[in-house]
């Protein structure tokens, strides 16, 4: 898609593209002054996210309902927003025990764009739409389009195609009244204002996007029973640190001594949930596994506790 003069005019009107006079002399600042300036600018981001909570909350509620019904959550982005989506999605399998195809990211330009610039890919409308067909997007899926500008052609096209295929669609932008927001069922607009370096939306805008995606993945997983109290009880204990974390969780939840927690985890293939059920209810591993299955994998329900 070739941009028109009108497209360029609209781009210069975006808050994220504006040059803020407060930052006009950063090239003359000392390192300490620059650090203070950037820290001060960044401190406004959480407040901007807070203002958008009325938009964020219903979108997460809708996404959680679909995930509970067997759906998926897909992030779509280009450049920095795409990489932020990949980062958040990639943390879900080890943290919450999800499968890689349950929460994943679609990046303009594909895998090569993760580690290198592939800026032209963001303008490929056909590729954005085709990516949704390739992913088999359907009515149980939630597709979250991420673009600071709210006008990235690849992302807008993907969201339009996803919505046409019946998916729940969410636009995450840092401007108001954008094409991406118009294409989505839910719009989340985090207004962070101009960047310290004009147009460098990997800064405040990127921080805002990461904060919102943290909310999406974490809150959806809590709603799905992937957390007990504030413990990540579906963690995949694939290294020394995570195995030690699993031991501490089992000890904290069951009040068992360390030796008993390690023994239970070993017998239950280092499944924290299963080890807790086995210890608390004095069950064999196969019986603990069966009880969890009967209760939809919900630890609190398997233990007979009211939520």
Both 72 and 203 in a single domain? yes
In a shared domain, residues 216 and 250: no
> From CA 145, how far away is CA 254, in angstroms rounded?
41
Give residue 11's pLDDT band: very low, low, confident or very high (50, 70, 90): low
Select the more confidently predicted residue: 264 or 120.
264
Q: Higher pLDDT residue, 26 or 165?
A: 165
pLDDT more than 70, % of the chain:
94
pLDDT of residue 114: 80
pLDDT in tens, 142-165: 999 999 999 999 999 999 999 999
Could you tell me if residue 230 is inside a domain? no
Residues 144 and 288 in one domain: no
Within a domain: 234: no
Same domain, 184 and 253: no
Give the C-alpha separation, 88 to 263, whole Å: 33
Same domain as 275, residue 180: no
CA distance 92 to 102: 9
Q: Which of 196, 223, 250 is the last residue of a domain?
A: 223
**Model confidence, pTM:** 0.89
pLDDT for residue 8: 43
Helix (H) and strand (E) counts in the chain: 15, 5
Which residues participate in catalysis according to the annotation?
91, 122
Is residue 62 located within the same domain as residue 209?
yes
Q: Can you tell me the distance from the alpha carbon of 58 to that of 154, in angstroms, rounded to the nearest whole number? A: 25
In a domain, 229, yes or no: no
Q: Report the candidate in 223, 217, 230 with the shortest Cα–Cα distance to residue 297.
A: 223
pLDDT of residue 1: 45
Domain CATH number, residue 10: 3.40.50.10490
Whether residue 82 is contained in a domain is answered as: yes
Residue 133 domain flag = yes
Cα distances from 30 to residues 23, 27, 36, 249, in angstroms, run: 13, 8, 10, 46
Summarised one tens digit per residue, pLDDT across range 53-109 is 999 999 999 999 999 999 999 999 999 999 999 999 999 999 999 999 999 999 998
Q: Please list the residues that pair with 145 across neighbouring strands.
A: 76, 171
Q: What is the mean pLDDT of the chain?
A: 92
With respect to residue 233, please indicate whether it lies within any of the assigned structural domains.
no
What is the distance between the alpha carbons of residues 263 and 257, in angstroms, rounded to a whole number? 10
| Residue 232 lies inside a defined structural domain of this protein | no
33-47: average pLDDT:
95
CATH of the domain at 253: 1.10.8.1080
Q: Which residues lie below 8 Å from residue 205, measured CB to CB, with a gap of 6+? A: 16, 148, 174, 190, 192, 195
Tell the residue number behind the tokens 């809150």, with chain if given: 219
- Residue-level pLDDT at 121: 86
Q: Could you list the residue range(s) of the whole structural domain that residue 294 is in?
A: 240-302
Same domain, 246 and 282: yes
Of 172, 198, 223, which residue is a domain's last? 223
Q: Which of 223, 257, 285 is the last residue of a domain?
A: 223
- pLDDT score of 307: 61
Give 188-230 pLDDT, tens digit per residue.
Answer: 999 999 888 888 889 999 999 999 999 999 999 999 999 999 9
* Number of structural domains the chain divides into: 2
* Domain assignment present for 154: yes
Quick one: 21 and 63 in the same domain?
yes
Residues 179 and 84 in one domain: yes
């Amino acid at each position: 898609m070739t941009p028109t003069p009108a497209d360029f005019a609209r781009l210069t009107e975006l808050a994220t593209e504006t040059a803020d006079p407060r930052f006009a002399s950063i090239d003359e600042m000392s390192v300490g002054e620059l650090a203070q300036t950037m820290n001060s600018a960044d401190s406004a981001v959480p407040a901007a996210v807070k203002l958008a909570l009325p938009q964020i909350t219903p979108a997460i509620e809708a996404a959680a309902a679909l995930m509970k019904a067997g759906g998926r959550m897909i992030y779509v982005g280009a450049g920095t927003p795409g990489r932020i989506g990949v980062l958040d999605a990639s943390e879900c399998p080890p943290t919450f025990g999800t499968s890689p195809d349950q929460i994943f990211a679609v990046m303009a330009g594909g895998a090569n764009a993760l580690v290198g610039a592939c800026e032209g890919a963001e303008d490929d409308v056909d590729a954005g739409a085709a990516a949704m067909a390739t992913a088999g997007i359907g009515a149980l899926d939630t597709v979250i389009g991420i673009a600071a500008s709210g006008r990235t052609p690849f992302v807008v096209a993907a969201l339009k195609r996803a919505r046409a295929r019946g998916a729940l669609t969410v636009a995450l932008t840092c401007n108001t009244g954008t094409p991406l927001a118009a294409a989505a069922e839910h719009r989340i607009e985090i207004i962070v204002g101009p960047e310290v370096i004009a147009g460098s939306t990997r800064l405040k805008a990127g921080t805002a996007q990461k904060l919102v995606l943290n909310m999406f993945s974490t809150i959806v997983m809590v709603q799905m029973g992937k957390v007990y109290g504030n413990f990540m009880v579906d963690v995949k204990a694939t290294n020394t640190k995570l195995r030690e974390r699993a031991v501490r969780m089992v000890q904290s939840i069951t009040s068992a001594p360390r030796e008993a927690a390690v023994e239970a985890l070993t017998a239950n293939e280092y499944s924290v949930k299963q080890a807790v059920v086995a210890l608390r209810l004095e069950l064999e591993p196969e019986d603990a596994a069966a009880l969890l299955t009967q209760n939809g994998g919900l630890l609190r329900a398997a233990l007979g506790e009211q939520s």
